[in-house]
Amino acid sequence: MSAVHPILEPWLGADRSGCMVLDGGLATELQTRGHDLNDALWSAKLLLDQPEAILAVHRDFLAAGADVATAASYQASVPGLRARGLSDDEARQVLRSSMELARRACDQAHARDPSTPRPLAVASLGAYGAILADGSEYRGDYAADDATIDRIHRERLEVLAPLADLVACETIPCLREAEVLARVLATCPTPAWVSFACRDHAHVGHGETIERCVAAVASVPSVIMVGVNCCAPAWVEPLVRRIASVTALPIVAYPNAGERYEHGGWCGDRIAPAELGRLAQRWLAAGARAIGGCCRTTPAHVAALHRLRQDRAASPHRA
């Protein structure tokens, strides 16, 4: 088993007996609070005119027990901001501001309780398809060539990584993008996790097996966790088991709340916080060591995961 990266040790421990609690769905929580994110920039839209709203959600997730604040940079890019009339320098400053908000929230949380580890400010690096705002981050059917995907990722990393404690490469839907990211992250000194968007219990959105995609990035020195995000909660346990069969890295798991986005709205039933906690116990038993939520998960869901961690720590028989 590979050693735990020092940045994760305050939560996982050197023996991996602990776990890290991630935050929930930043953008969907902003929507729940009445903010209109029907925009190609998604949550990054509020970086331009309502940054305090983003800060408030960061604070609430941290207060619920999250160990990270994930920046509102998932769908932001220099080309996307340039399309709003910003100069390249102005666009880069907007990207930086996403990390400044996350760092401020982490600093404030630590100041309130300095007896606990300072939460980590995480840069969200969405899949290439995220900046297209066409849903292709769930399909991976990109028309762009590898050089274009490489350039977009490097451009964002160059701005975000120096301000981040950790980089989250999220919702990666295909083996091709995983291979591009492996080359990009090989030159990045900031530790990172890579998580994949999956269409079932075994395959990423484009159809390749989760094992092949994880293997493409797991040997990169800066990659310190691998896993899945924004998939159905019921798929997480088998996916985690498959990932654990091909890598000794800690596994990250943060599905959506069980609803589907169709025809401009969410449909289906949202999982209750207590049920997410019960499922997460199975993910931990399967090998996950960082658990959280993606779209439509709330501070209440994060609080349930935090309680699960507390219960495990109090039990001599924890998984």
Q: State residue 63's pLDDT score.
A: 98
The structure tokens listed for 149 are 């995907």
What distance, in Å, lies between the first and last C-alpha atoms of the chain? 17
CATH of 9-314, one of 1.10.10.10, 3.20.20.330, 3.30.365.10, 2.40.50.420: 3.20.20.330
Q: State residue 315's pLDDT score.
A: 80
The structure tokens listed for 15 are 């023996």
Which distant-in-sequence residues (6+ apart) come within 8 Å of 50 by Cβ?
35
Q: State residue 298's pLDDT score.
A: 98
Q: State residue 261's pLDDT score.
A: 72
Q: State residue 317's pLDDT score.
A: 57
- Backbone phi and psi for residue 92, each to the nearest 5 degrees, phi listed first: -65, -35
- Strand partners of residue 114: none
Tally the C-alpha atoms within 13 A of residue 214's C-alpha that lie toward its C-beta.
Answer: 26
Which stretches in the chain have pLDDT values below 70? 1, 262-264, 316-319
Query: Smallest Cα–Cα separation from 164: which of 116, 224, 214?
Result: 224
Which distant-in-sequence residues (6+ apart) come within 8 Å of 134 by Cβ?
none
Domain edges within the chain: 9-314
How do residues 139-170 score in pLDDT, each as one tens digit?
A: 999 999 999 999 999 999 999 999 999 999 99
Q: State residue 316's pLDDT score.
A: 55
